[in-house]
Amino acid sequence: MTYDPDKFLENFSRALRMRRETVGLSQEQLAVRAGLHRTYVSDVECGARNISLRTLCLLSAALEMLPSELLIETEVVIESRRRRKKISLRI
């Protein structure tokens, strides 16, 4: 399966924000844990930044998860949005 890189980035951003909120961290707290600036984290969550693998590792460690787990959560977001789109097309 292939992904549109821009759509993948958008869904990664959603997955990151959802995970951060689930664990109860603010953007500032996540940024401090990851050694990043708060505005950088905000930009990532808005889809304005295309992060490096290094940043993926820093963010996932700050969320106490593996980078692969964060990518799997991105896949879950993609699939969820795909299902919702199919349902809305049927209505």
15-22 average pLDDT score: 98
Q: CATH number of the domain at 21, please.
A: 1.10.260.40
For 50-67, the pLDDT digits (tens) are 999 999 999 999 999 999
> What pLDDT does residue 21 have?
98
Total domains, the chain: 1
Entry pTM: 0.88
Terminal C-alpha separation, the chain: 27
Tell me the helices (H) and strands (E) count for the chain, helix number first: 5, 0
- The answer to whether residues 61 and 34 touch, using CB atoms and an 8 Å cutoff, is yes
> What pLDDT does residue 91 have?
57
Report the C-alpha gap between 14 and 8 in whole angstroms: 10
Q: In terms of residue numbers, what domain contains 46?
A: 5-90
> What pLDDT does residue 29 have?
98
Report the C-alpha gap between 65 and 80 in whole angstroms: 21
> What pLDDT does residue 43 have?
98
Q: Is the pLDDT of residue 5 over 70?
A: yes
